Amino acid sequence: MKLSPRLNFLILGTAILLAMQWHTWWFYLNPPPDFSHGQVVLYATDWCPYCEKTRALLATKGIHYKEMNIETSEEARSQYQRLAANGVPVLLVAGEVVRGYHQQRMEALLDAWQREHKPAALTKEYD
């Protein structure tokens, strides 16, 4: 049975799109490990302007978080790599990962987290 050219094009196009988005499927099938243990963790660097924006967002919301500097801490770098990150900031909120600075997504995730947890005083832990 010979397939029509349109169907061949559709199948090939779908295969290409799936191949281009393999990492999305990989994250769906193999969720990243939860290093946050139900808390908020920020993987960042000292020089990154988007990391600073993320810190400001967390401060505005009064959220207690642990900051992991991926340039100065081996443990932070190892966790960062296991989260399949390729840039900073990376925000880990109770097992949910936001790679890069996406303010709306971060706010939605943090608001949901705050509804489940009592807001703690604004403090920051360093590793």
CB distance 68 to 85 below 8 Å: no
CATH of the domain at 89: 3.40.30.10
pLDDT at position 34 is: 79
58 and 19 in a single domain? The answer is: no
The whole-number mean pLDDT for each consecutive block of 10 residues of the chain, a chain of 127 residues, reads 82 78 64 81 97 97 95 93 89 92 96 80 56
Full domain range(s) for residue 5? 1-30
Residues 11 and 53 in one domain: no
121 shares a domain with 78:
yes
In angstroms, the CA 100 to CA 44 distance is: 10
Asked if residue 46 and residue 1 are part of one domain, the reply reads no
- Same domain for 20 and 39? no
Domain count, the chain: 2
In this structure, are 2 and 64 located in the same domain? no
| Rounded distance between C-alpha atoms, residue 109 and residue 91, angstroms | 10
Do residues 67 and 46 lie in contact, with contact meaning Cβ atoms separated by under 8 Å?
Answer: no
Q: Between helices 5-20 and 22-29, what is the axis angle to 10°?
A: 60
Mark whether 89 and 106 lie in a shared domain: yes
My answer on whether 114 and 65 are in the same domain is yes
Going across the sheet that includes 124-126, the strands are 96-99, 90-93, 40-44, 65-69, 124-126
Per-residue model confidence (pLDDT) at position 98: 94
Q: Do 104 and 60 fall into the same domain?
A: yes
pLDDT at 121: 45
pLDDT computed for residue 37 by the predictor: 83
Assigned token pair, 79 = 């966790």
> What values do phi and psi take at 47, rounded to 5?
-95, -10
User: Does 40 share its domain with 26?
Assistant: no
Residues 5, 40: one domain?
A: no
On whether both 48 and 2 belong to a single domain, the answer is: no
pLDDT value of residue 100: 95
